[in-house]
């Protein structure tokens, strides 16, 4: 007996249309739920040539929205996609440059000395941690750990879970940050980047001055410089979310007692004001940016600020990152050029330094 494979019945035009519609809707739903590498989203703003240069420098990743500024002496050009020069972003650890400026300004006011010790700020502190100087913290060589020691199982579990659900992992209050010094184990006094250290530095300044950190930023820096878009948030309100490096939503960070390490929100407009004022030495505490000692093979460090040793021209800079944002600010005091990039995606934007500075030949593998 001869076996034959039967032909499938022909679909009617209506059934074919329904199938195509279902397939199209499925594709749209999957596209909405599954992030993919793509360029910045939204309408372009400002200088189109600058935006094109920024996109070329940063490359193709899970981007969302961006605002950028390029400074040339007194001239500033702004550009963005889905954002403009007044759009609010988390600037992450660029916040540390504000904390360092407050430190330098407090010295100028005679409120503290560079070598003021933690035990002088909080007399109840005991042991080696009481001997840690504020300047050693500002220069990232205090021996304090990168993160605050967990006070117990509950705090540790909360911090771990926050990373998994893309929430703010910094829940400690200012008093909790200070209390963390009681159980800290100091490392060697050598360069080690410490968020905990800058949280402690900010809370020490609040203790000495009698004003909380947010008030110090407002009254001593942002109001005098006219930086109306810049502030230390007291709640997540104002930002819906940023995005992880893979394009998933991430909650805003308020950071509680860790605010001096990375909580400030700002705009490209205000970061341009900050860049120019620090570069020109007119910002309160601008001397924080002065290079003081080597941090690693590539950079020297002042108080928070890094200065490259292997670029042309060398840049004084800091970057920042939170759960859903990245930032970069760098300038050359020699040429007057500078660049700022703020992004609501957790992909690093440091490559934007190439808009105003180039790697040395040795860094790129060239031979002299």
Greater pLDDT, 181 or 7: 181
Span of 28-32, 267-271, 353-357 with lowest mean pLDDT: 28-32
Percentage of the residues of the chain whose pLDDT score is greater than 70: 83
Band (pLDDT 50/70/90 cuts) for residue 29 is: very low
Pairing status of strand 242-243 against strand 337-343: unpaired
Band (pLDDT 50/70/90 cuts) for residue 306 is: very high
Retrieve residue 34's tokens: 């599954």
Pairing status of strand 265-266 against strand 242-243: unpaired
Query: What region, left, alpha or beta, does residue 319 occupy, with left being phi > 0 and alpha being psi -120 to 50 degrees?
Result: beta
- For the segment 7-31, the average pLDDT, to the nearest whole number, is 44
pLDDT, averaged across the chain: 88
pLDDT at 120 over 50: yes
CA angle, 46 as apex, 43 and 50 as ends, to 5°?
105
Contact 106, 113 (CB under 8 A): no
Retrieve residue 287's tokens: 């001397």
CA 62 to chain centre: 17
Band (pLDDT 50/70/90 cuts) for residue 35 is: low
pLDDT of residue 240: 77
Retrieve residue 196's tokens: 């905990």
Residues 6 or more apart whose Cβ sits within 8 Å of residue 349: 58, 66, 319, 326, 327, 328, 341, 342, 343
pLDDT at 237 over 50: yes
Question: What dihedral do alpha carbons 170, 171, 177, 181 form, nearest 10°?
Answer: -80
- For the segment 26-34, the average pLDDT, to the nearest whole number, is 44
Greater pLDDT, 226 or 246: 226
pTM: 0.87
pLDDT at 335 over 60: yes
Sign of CA dihedral 19, 24, 28, 31: positive
Phi and psi, residue 213, nearest 5°: -60, -45
Alpha helices in the chain (DSSP H): 13-33, 48-58, 95-108, 118-121, 134-138, 153-164, 174-179, 195-209, 213-217, 223-225, 259-262, 268-280
- For the segment 44-64, the average pLDDT, to the nearest whole number, is 95
Of 195, 325, 158, which is closest to residue 250 (Cα–Cα)?
Answer: 325
pLDDT of residue 80: 97
Residues 6 or more apart whose Cβ sits within 8 Å of residue 110: none
Q: What is the DSSP string of 32-65?
A: HHS---B---S-EEE-HHHHHHHHHHH-SBB---
Phi and psi, residue 192, nearest 5°: -155, 120
pLDDT of residue 166: 77
pLDDT at 213 over 50: yes
Phi and psi, residue 82, nearest 5°: 70, 10
Span of 14-18, 43-47, 243-247, 290-294 with lowest mean pLDDT: 14-18
Greater pLDDT, 147 or 37: 147
pLDDT at 176 over 50: yes
pLDDT at 142 over 70: yes
CA angle, 168 as apex, 88 and 344 as ends, to 5°?
30
């Amino acid at each position: 007996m001869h076996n034959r494979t039967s032909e499938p019945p022909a679909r009617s035009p209506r059934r074919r249309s329904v199938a195509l519609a279902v397939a199209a809707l499925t594709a749209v739903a999957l596209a909405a739920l599954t992030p993919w590498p793509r360029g910045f989203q939204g309408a372009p703003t400002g200088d189109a040539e600058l935006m094109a240069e920024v996109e070329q420098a940063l490359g193709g990743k899970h981007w969302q929205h961006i605002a950028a500024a390029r400074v040339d002496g007194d001239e500033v050009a702004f550009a963005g996609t889905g954002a403009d020069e007044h759009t609010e972003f988390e600037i992450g650890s660029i916040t540390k440059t504000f904390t360092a400026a407050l430190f330098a300004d407090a010295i100028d006011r005679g409120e503290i000395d560079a070598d003021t010790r933690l035990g002088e700020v909080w007399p109840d502190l005991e042991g080696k941690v009481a001997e840690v100087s504020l300047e050693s913290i500002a220069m990232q060589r205090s021996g304090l750990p990168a993160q605050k020691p967990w006070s117990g199982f509950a705090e540790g579990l909360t911090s771990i879970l926050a990373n998994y659900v893309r929430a703010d992992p910094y829940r400690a209050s200012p008093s909790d940050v200070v209390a963390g010094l009681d159980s800290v184990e100091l490392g060697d006094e050598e360069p080690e980047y410490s968020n905990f250290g800058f949280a402690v530095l900010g809370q020490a300044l609040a203790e000495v001055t009698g004003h909380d950190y947010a008030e110090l930023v407002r009254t001593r820096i942002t109001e005098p410089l006219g930086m109306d878009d810049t502030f230390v948030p007291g709640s997540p309100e104002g930002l819906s979310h940023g995005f992880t490096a893979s394009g998933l939503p991430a909650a805003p960070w308020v950071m509680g007692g860790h605010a001096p390490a990375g909580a400030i929100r700002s705009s490209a407009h205000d970061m341009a004001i900050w860049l120019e004022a620090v570069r020109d030495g007119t910002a309160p505490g601008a001397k924080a940016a002065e290079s003081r000692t080597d941090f690693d093979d590539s950079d020297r460090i002042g108080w928070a600020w890094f200065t490259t040793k292997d670029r042309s021209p060398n840049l004084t800079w800091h970057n920042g990152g939170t759960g859903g944002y990245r930032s970069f600010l760098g300038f050359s005091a020699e040429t007057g050029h500078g660049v700022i990039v703020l992004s609501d995606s957790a992909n690093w934007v440091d490559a934007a330094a190439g808009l105003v500075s180039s790697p040395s030949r040795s860094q790129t593998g060239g031979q002299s």
